[in-house]
Amino acid sequence: MLTSSPVAQTIAARTSSPRPYWLTILSKYPFLAIETVLLTLFVLVALFGPTLLDVSPTEQILARVREVPNPNALLGRDELGRDILARLVYGARFTIGVGLATVLFGLMVGGFLGLISGYYQTHYDTVIMRVMDLLMAFPSILSAIVMIAILGTGVTNVILAVGIFFVPIFARLVRALTLRLSNEQFVDSARAVGASDIRIMRRHILPNTVPTLLVQITYSLGEAIIIVAGLGFLGLGVQPPTPEWGAMLSRAREVMFVAPHVAIMPGLALVFLLLLVNLLGDGLRDLLDPRLRRTP
């Protein structure tokens, strides 16, 4: 039974052939490969697009306001005559970057708290987990809206306000994983040979949380992108004239009856990105979580 599982097969392949491990995995899961490549492309566009593109995202050509897609402006122009493609390319780094940063914030803070909480299991554990319950008790975007209303808008504040929502999610997950792993034989063995707590956590527990965490990170990224764009949509995210996809959609509402493409283009960009992220999450879960694989 063990040898029939895809991972066991890939491990066998890894030891018998000189092909690199990742190549074996990608050839076994072609969709995962396509999703990874496309998502990488998105990130590359976000990183280098603005330097390669010589169209300004803020230049207003008032004579061509709300122009439909044409060879001159591939995705058309918005309500102020700005090139939509250029704005999407410039905005990608905010949409993807801020989303990623919020998840990383949640992962670092929550992961640390969960690890300490699960490993030491003292009264810190109770206190930390009760605080996490309290954080979970309030709906994500609502608390983010309030925090931004108080802290003010801006990239750092958005990351903080949305990132806090992911802290309890990662704290609970890492705690549960740590609790389970602490009872494993290899941790007992490490302790028996005199490994320090820090070494056990770093070398024996953390690496084993990575597969499950990767799946959660991917799904959380999808959620983060929706919340960040939602804040932008409400006017509480990155401020204009900086192009951000959610804010672009919000502005487009004013002209959507006469020029629907102004709303549809940034919306489709978001859908495409989120679809990739969610499909990647599904793929990673199938690949990395053997418990879920048995019931596809």
Partner 1 sequence: MSNYILKRISQIFLMAFFATIVIFALIHLAPGDPVAALSSPGMSEEDRLGIARKYGLDQPLYVQYVRWLGTTLQGDLGRSLLTNQPINELISTRFGNTLQLVALAMVLNIVVGIVTGVIAATRRGSIFDLSSMTLAILSFSIPPFFLGIILILVFAVGLKWLPAGGAGSFHHLILPAIALGLATAALTARMTRSAMLEVLGSDYIRSARAKGLSESRVLFRHGLKNAMIPVLTIIGQTTGALLAGAVITETVFAYPGMGFTLVKSLSERDYPVIQAALLVTSFLYLTINLLIDIAYLYADPRIRYG
Contacts with partner 1 by CB under 8 A lie at: 134, 137-142, 145-147, 149-150, 152, 222, 226, 229-230, 233-236, 246, 249-250, 252-253, 256-257, 260, 263-264, 267, 270-271, 274-275, 277-279, 282, 292, 295-296
Q: DSSP label at 45?
A: H
Q: How far is the CB of 115 from partner 1 (least distance, A)?
A: 24
- Closest distance to partner 1 from the beta carbon of 141 (Å): 5
Q: 77 or 261, CB closer to partner 1?
A: 261
Looking at the Cβ atoms of 197 and 254, the one nearer to partner 1 is 254
Q: How far is the CB of 96 from partner 1 (least distance, A)?
A: 14
Interatomic CA distance for residues 278 and 219, integer angstroms: 6
User: Residue type at 217?
Assistant: I
Nearest distance from C-beta of residue 227 to partner 1, angstroms: 9
- Output 115 or 279, the one with its CB closest to partner 1: 279
The shares of helix, strand and coil residues in the chain, as percent rounded to the nearest 5, are 75, 0, 25
Instruction: Please identify, using beta-carbon distances, which residue of 204 and 251 lies nearer to partner 1.
Output: 251
> 252-256 long-range CB contacts below 8 Å, 24 or more apart?
252/78, 252/79, 254/79, 255/66, 255/78, 255/79
Alpha helices in 53-154 (DSSP H): 84-120, 123-136, 140-151
Question: CA 180, CA 208: separation in Å to the nearest integer?
Answer: 11
State the DSSP H helix or E strand holding residue 63, giving kind and residue range, or none if neither: none
Nearer to partner 1, 104 or 161 (CB): 161
Q: At closest approach, how far in Å is the CB of 220 from partner 1? A: 13
